[in-house]
Amino acid sequence: MSTAPHITVLLKEAVEALAIKPDGVYVDGTFGRGGHSRAILAQLGPEGRLIAFDRDPQAIAAGEAIGDGRFELVHAPFSDFAEALAERGVEKVDGVLLDLGVSSPQLDEAGRGMSFRFDAPLDMRMDTTRGMTAAEWLAEAPVADITRVLREYGEERFAYEIAKAIVAARSGGHVATTGQLAAIVEATVWKREPGQHPATRTFQALRIFVNQELEELSLVLPQVVAALAAGGRLVVISFHSLEDRIVKRFMRDESRPPQLPARLPVRAADMPRPKLGLVGKQVRPSDEEIAANPRSRSAVMRIAERQAD
């Protein structure tokens, strides 16, 4: 059961950052429940076009309500960006928005298995039509692999201890529910972070791993830059440090000239131009937005613009 509607984070700021042209072609890489997409469509003219992606079948179903000829929703991960655009005859786009992480419906619906607030099957997949569930992976993974996932994706200091406890618990049957997993972690972690459930980092790590969220992000960013027209904007909203680190480093590297060997006799005028230019500083939600939607607290938005070749 979904307990709260999805509230789109940084809605006004993200759409403004795209600098929308009425006849432009835009991509919403993470449709969710369509908050950003609807705001983009409101600024597009009759010749404008919006292509959106989402892996979640429920998001795809929600998108059917839009019913706008300028809009198309693709059931695919955004790492399929270049292929999906090529299939639709789109060579260049004027802006791309990526609102990363999970949506409130995914967290608040018990059956998705993404939250320890409900005792439910341990699924965690964004796309429930394909791939391995968290429970299926935990049923077979060795201690070393579970440790690596919890440490790398959850920055969990007790990763090894939790991994050992999960594997030990398998002797009594699979760790099949969110309640079982949360109880194992709670019994293992002896030092608590103030205001945070001890299973928070474990659930985050498994969700990111199951959905390959960081790999997906690393795959799509170069595709976006290749497809952006000169002056086109890339806008990315991240919700935790692992995502933001990838985005920050990518934008930084693409906004610098290529690194050439030392002492190579090349004039500055002959150097290839950077592909991106950074636009402003990082943007965070206002105090008012955080008060209205506490889940927006960790959001960070970064903006870059495609430079002419």
Q: Classify the C-alpha dihedral 256-300-239-13 as positive or negative.
A: negative
Strand partners, 300: 238
Q: Do the beta carbons of residue 44 and residue 24 sit within 8 Å?
A: yes
Q: Return d(Cα 101, Cα 87) in angstroms, integer.
A: 26
Half-sphere exposure of 186 (CA within 13 A, CB side): 9
Task: Please tell me whether residue 130 adopts helix, strand or coil conformation.
Answer: coil
Tell me: is residue 270 an annotated ligand-binding position: no
Residue 263 burial (C-beta neighbours within 10 Å; 0-12, 13-18, 19+)? exposed
Tell me: is residue 35 an annotated ligand-binding position: yes
Nearest CA to 237 out of 15, 3, 39 is that of: 15
Tell me: is residue 197 an annotated ligand-binding position: no
- Give CA separation, 270 vs 226, 254, 258, 307, 309, in Å: 21, 17, 12, 16, 12
Tell me: is residue 123 an annotated ligand-binding position: no
Tell me: is residue 280 an annotated ligand-binding position: no
Tell me: is residue 78 an annotated ligand-binding position: yes
3-state DSSP of 155-211:
CCCCHHHHHHHHHHHHHHCCCCEHHHHHHHHHHHCCCCCCCCCCCHHHHHHHHHHHC
- Which residues fall within 8 angstroms of residue 54, CB to CB, at 6 or more apart? 30, 31, 32, 60, 63, 73, 74, 75
Tell me: is residue 54 an annotated ligand-binding position: yes
C-alpha distance across the termini of the chain, in Å? 50
Binding-site sequence positions for S-adenosyl-L-methionine: 34-36, 54, 78, 99, 106
Binding-site sequence positions: 34-36, 54, 78, 99, 106
